[in-house]
Structure 1
Amino acid sequence: MDGHPGTTFRTQVEWIDTDAAGIYHNSTVARWVEAAEARLMAGPGLHDYFRSAPRVSYHADFEAPLFFGQEVTVHLEVTELGSSSMTFGFEVWGEEHGGRPRRRAARGSYVTVHVEQDHDHPDGARSSPWPAGTVAALQGQGRAQSPA
């Protein structure tokens, strides 16, 4: 995934993220990935990105459990920037914990599409090209960012 805008986000499995046995809920991955996406977009100042970029596709493969208190590392990268869509790839890693080795817990991809308000469209919005400033900001990143 080198050469594309990306970021690394670190967190840990909180009790609210788990079932009664202390194993994480799969849905937590989406929240962590979105937190990484927010960090990626904040880096170049794309604070309005989320208002106009709904997800249209999401796929995840869950490979290993994560446990309460375990440190988690999320790697997120833009893998394709189309004229009106953006594809992201992600990996979620569970760090060494309680004698368990570091393992990839999940991986996947999702697609967002740039939309703008269109009161003449039946849904009130329509797909449109990414603004030039968004494209320039993302292309200017060009490599993964780590948290400060």
Structure 2
Amino acid sequence: METFPEACVERTVEWVDTDASGHQHNSAILRWVEAAEAELFRSLELPDYFPSAPRVQQVVNYKAKLWFGQRITATVKVSALGRTSLTLAFEVTSDAGDVAAYGTVTTAYVPQGATSAQPWPEHLVRAVKAERAGRITE
């Protein structure tokens, strides 16, 4: 069974992250997940991932509210690596350890100048599947 890498970031829910109800805005979850995703691909030394990996699907399941000033942890883990797509599973937890949101983000490899998905470059596949991959924390 392959072990895929994961990364997490810790953040504080800022005023800009909240909505009129006083809890996190739905978009804040994806910003925190993207920060963890960036940490993951920086740690894998794959700076060329982002310009060529548009989102093709995002699924977010909201379970609990997060409030201004609360600390959160966003964790992402590669859950599937296909020929042209990559799926990250994520979880955002509160400082009490409660899951506030979870889901998946799927990207496809579309290199600059291409109009459709292409097979992932070999260096990315090797880096994502490498044994050294484990948990990375910012």
Task: Give TM-score, length-normalised by structure 1.
Answer: 0.86
State which of 115, 123, 133 in structure 2 corresponds to 1:133. 123
Q: Tell me what 1:12 maps to.
A: 12
Q: Which moved more, 1:136-145 or 1:49-58?
A: 136-145
Q: 1: CA distance between counterparts of 2:111 and 2:75? A: 29
Q: 2: CA distance between counterparts of 1:143 and 1:60? A: 24
Q: SS of the counterpart of 1:47?
A: coil
The structure having more radius of gyration, on CA atoms, is 1
Percent identity over the alignment is 40
2:42 aligned with 1:51: no
Conserved in 2, the CA contact under 8 Å of 1:4 and 1:144?
A: no
Q: Deviations over 1:57-85 (max 9, x none)?
A: 01010000000000001111000011110
Which ranges in structure 1 are unaligned for 5 or more consecutive residues? 97-101, 119-123
2:14 aligned with 1:23: no
State which of 89, 94, 100 in structure 2 corresponds to 1:105. 100
RMSD over equivalenced CA pairs, Å: 1.5
Conserved in 1, the CA contact under 8 Å of 2:3 and 2:129?
A: no
Shift of 1:22: 2.8
Conserved in 2, the CA contact under 8 Å of 1:60 and 1:109?
A: yes
2:138 aligned with 1:143: no
Q: SS of the counterpart of 2:25?
A: coil
2:110 aligned with 1:115: yes
Task: Output aligned runs, 1:11-90, within 5 Å.
Answer: 11-90=11-90
Task: Give TM-score, length-normalised by structure 2.
Answer: 0.92
Length, aligned pairs only: 136
Q: SS of the counterpart of 1:27?
A: helix
Structure 1 runs of 4+ off > 4 angstroms?
A: none
Q: Which moved more, 1:3-12 or 1:52-61?
A: 3-12
